[in-house]
Structure 1
Amino acid sequence: MQITISFRGKSQKPPVTVDLPEDSTVDDLKKAIYKKVPKFYPDRQRLSFNEKTLQEGKPLKEYDITNGENVVLKDLGPQISWKTVFLIEYLGPLLIHPIFYYFKSQIYGENFEHSQMQKFAFYMIMTHFGKRELETLFVHRFSHGTMPFMNVFKNSFHYHALSGINLAYWVYGPWNASGTLNSAREEWYIWTCVAVFVYAQISNFSTHITLRNLRPPGTRVRKIPYGYGFELVSCPNYFFETVAWISICALTNSLAAWFFIVVGFFQMYLWAIKKHKAYRKEFKDYPKNRRAIIPFLV
C-alpha cells in the first residue's frame, strides 16, 4: 500500500510517498520514511493520523491506515539517547563534589580539617551518584529511546547546579569543619543516618531490578510490577530515593540539601502521579490499594 507523508512544523518539505506491505507496523513506516528522507531518523519522527499519535510497535491497521491515507510527521529535532542524558546528569556531581572536598583551601581560602559529618556526607553522595551511573549502564531499560538534544542542558542543571555546586559548596565549607558547632553530631546520630541511607539505596536498587525484569531486552512490553515496595506504591523507586536524600539532609542539616530534595521530590511526585494514572488506565486489574509515591498517603 502507498502512504503519503506530510510534514508539519518548521520542515517545509513537500509530501513524500512510501510503499509498505499491508501488515506493516508504525516502526516499519518510520524506517520507510527514513530511507526516503535520511534527515528524519525514526527517533526524530512523531507520526499522527486523524489527530491521533501513532505508537511504536502498533500495526498500522489498528489506526485504520489503508492505501492512499495521509500521515503527518512532526520533526522532533535532533535527539540524544536517554542513557547518555542520564550519564551526563550524574557525572556532574561525581566531578564537582571531589573538587570542593579535596581543594578546600583553594576554594574557601583557608585550610581546615573536615568533620565526621562532612566525610560521611561526601562518601554517601558519591555512593549515590556512582550507583546511579552503574544502574544507567547495566540495569535500566528505557521505554523511550531518545529525548530532544537541548533538554540535556535543562535536565543537567538540576544535578550539576543544585546537587553539585550548590550542595557541595555549603556542605564542605569551613563553617562545618571539625570542631565547629555546626558539625557537632552524636556518633549514634551519624550512624543512624548512614543506616537509613544504606537501607534506602538497597531498596531503590531492588525496585530497579524488578522494573528491569518486567521488560525483555529490546521491547516496550508493559506489565504490572509486583514485589518489594510495589505492594504499597506504584513508584517505590522514587519513594526510596526520597528517603535516601532525607538521610543526607538530616546528617548535614544543610538548606542546600533540603532545597534539592524538595525540588526533586516535586518532580518525582509529578512523574509518579502520571505513571500511577497510566497503570490504572492500562490495566483494569491494577491493585486498587496502591498509592502513587508515599505509602498510605499519596
Structure 2
Amino acid sequence: MKVTIASRQKSSKFPVTLEVPGTASTIKVADIATALAKKYPKYYPDRQRLTTEDKKVLTEQSLSEQGIDESTPIYFKDLGPQIGWRTVFLIEYGGPLLIHPLFYYATKLIYGSSIEHSPMQVATYYMVMLHFLKRELETLFVHRFSHGTMPFTNVFKNSAHYWFLSGFNLAYWVYGPWFAQGTVAGARNDVWVYGSVAVWAWAELSNLMTHITLRNLRPPGTRVRAIPYGYGFDLVSCPNYFFEFVAWTAVCFLTTSWSAFLFNIVATGQMYVWAVKKHKNYKKEFKDYPRNRTSMVPFIA
C-alpha cells in the first residue's frame, strides 16, 4: 500500500510516499513509523507523532479502522531527540539520594561546625532516603510506561523539581544546626516523631500497592489501558498521588520546616493537575467508569 506522509512543519523531505507491505485493514501505525524511520533514520519511531489531517493522533488500530486509505495523507511531526522515561525517572530520583547524605554527613563542611542530629533530623533523613530508594526500585521493577520516551530537553526541567526542591532546599534547611539536638526548634516528643513516621510508612506502602495495581493492568510490552479497581481506587482515580501527598504531609508535620511545605505544595499542585487530566481521560475513554470517584482527594476533588 502506498502511504503519503505530509508535514505541518516546513521541510524539503515532505511530503513523501512510502511503500508499506499490506492493506489498510492490516497496516498499523507502528508499520508506518517503522517505514518512515527506515527512509529517514533520524526520525526513529519514538521521535515521531503521526496524526490525521484533523490532528487526531493515530492509535494502535488498523488504518482502515481510523478512516485512512491510499488517498488519505498522514501528518508527521518531529518530536525532537528523545530519552527513555525510565532513564528520566532514575535521574530525577537519584538527585535527592546523592544530595541528602552530603548535607546530613558533611555538616562541618556545609554549616561550619559538627552537629549532633536531633531525633527529628534522623527520622527525616531516613524517611527521605527510603522514599526515593523506593521510587528508584519502582522505576526499575514495577512501572510499565504508556509512553516509552520524552523530549530530551525535558529531563532538565523535570530533574530541577527533585534536585532543588526536595534535594538542596529540603536538605539544607532540615539538617541545619537550628534543628540540631538540644535546640528548641529541633525538639520533638516521641509521639510526634513516631506518629509522623507511622503515617508516612502507611502512606508509602499504600502508594506502592496502587503502583502494583496499575502495573498489573498492563501486560508487558503493551500500552493497554483499563479501569483500575481495588485498594484506594474505590474513591479516587489517582490514589497513588493522594498517598504521596499524605507521605510528604507527614514529613511537613514532623519537620515544621517551610522548605518541606514548599516542596509539598508544589508537588501536590502538579500531581493534582495530572490527576484531573487522567480522571477526565478515564471518563472519556470508558463509558462505564465509576461515577463516585474524584480525581485525587476522596470526596473533595
User: What TM-score does the superposition give when structure 2 sets the normalisation length?
Assistant: 0.97
Match of 2:208 in 1: 205
Match of 2:34 among 27, 31, 36: 31
Match of 1:7 in 2: 7
Q: Which runs of 5+ in 1 are unaligned?
A: none
1:240 aligns with 2:243: yes
Give the 3-state SS of the residue equivalent to 1:53 in structure 2. Answer: coil
1:80 aligns with 2:70: no
Distance 1:74 1:200, change over 3 A: same
Match of 1:280 in 2: 283
Q: Residue type of the partner of 1:216?
A: P
**Structure 2 Cα separation of the partners of residues 14 and 262 of structure 1:** 46
Match of 1:221 in 2: 224
How far did 1:188 drift? Answer: 1.0
- Conserved in 1, the CA contact under 8 Å of 2:33 and 2:45? yes
Q: Which runs of 4+ in 1 moved over 3 A?
A: none
How far did 1:54 drift? Answer: 2.9
Match of 1:187 in 2: 190
- Conserved in 1, the CA contact under 8 Å of 2:4 and 2:70? no
Match of 1:165 among 153, 165, 168: 168
How far did 1:60 drift? Answer: 1.0
**Structure 1 Cα separation of the partners of residues 201 and 10 of structure 2:** 49
Give the 3-state SS of the residue equivalent to 2:202 in structure 1. Answer: helix
Over the matched positions of the two proteins, sequence identity in percent amounts to 61
**Structure 1 Cα separation of the partners of residues 61 and 113 of structure 2:** 62
Q: Residue type of the partner of 1:155?
A: N
Match of 2:124 among 118, 121, 131: 121
Match of 1:98 in 2: 101
How far did 1:11 drift? Answer: 4.3
1:107 aligns with 2:110: yes
Give the 3-state SS of the residue equivalent to 2:248 in structure 1. Answer: helix
**Structure 1 Cα separation of the partners of residues 300 and 115 of structure 2:** 45
**Structure 2 Cα separation of the partners of residues 197 and 98 of structure 1:** 20
- Conserved in 1, the CA contact under 8 Å of 2:29 and 2:61? yes
- Conserved in 1, the CA contact under 8 Å of 2:120 and 2:188? yes
**Structure 1 Cα separation of the partners of residues 217 and 80 of structure 2:** 31
How far did 1:28 drift? Answer: 0.8
How far did 1:53 drift? Answer: 2.7
How far did 1:204 drift? Answer: 0.3
RMSD: 1.0
Q: Residue type of the partner of 1:152?
A: V
**Structure 2 Cα separation of the partners of residues 87 and 56 of structure 1:** 29
Distance 1:286 1:116, change over 3 A: same
How far did 1:230 drift? Answer: 0.2
**Structure 2 Cα separation of the partners of residues 98 and 76 of structure 1:** 37
Give the 3-state SS of the residue equivalent to 1:181 in structure 2. Answer: coil
Q: Residue type of the partner of 1:258?
A: F
**Structure 1 Cα separation of the partners of residues 73 and 154 of structure 2:** 30
Q: Residue type of the partner of 2:149?
A: T
Distance 1:10 1:129, change over 3 A: farther
- Conserved in 2, the CA contact under 8 Å of 1:8 and 1:75? no
Give the 3-state SS of the residue equivalent to 1:233 in structure 2. Answer: coil
1:255 aligns with 2:268: no
User: What TM-score does the superposition give when structure 1 sets the normalisation length?
Assistant: 0.98
Q: Which moved more, 1:286-295 or 1:5-14?
A: 5-14
- Conserved in 1, the CA contact under 8 Å of 2:58 and 2:66? no
Q: Residue type of the partner of 1:66?
A: D
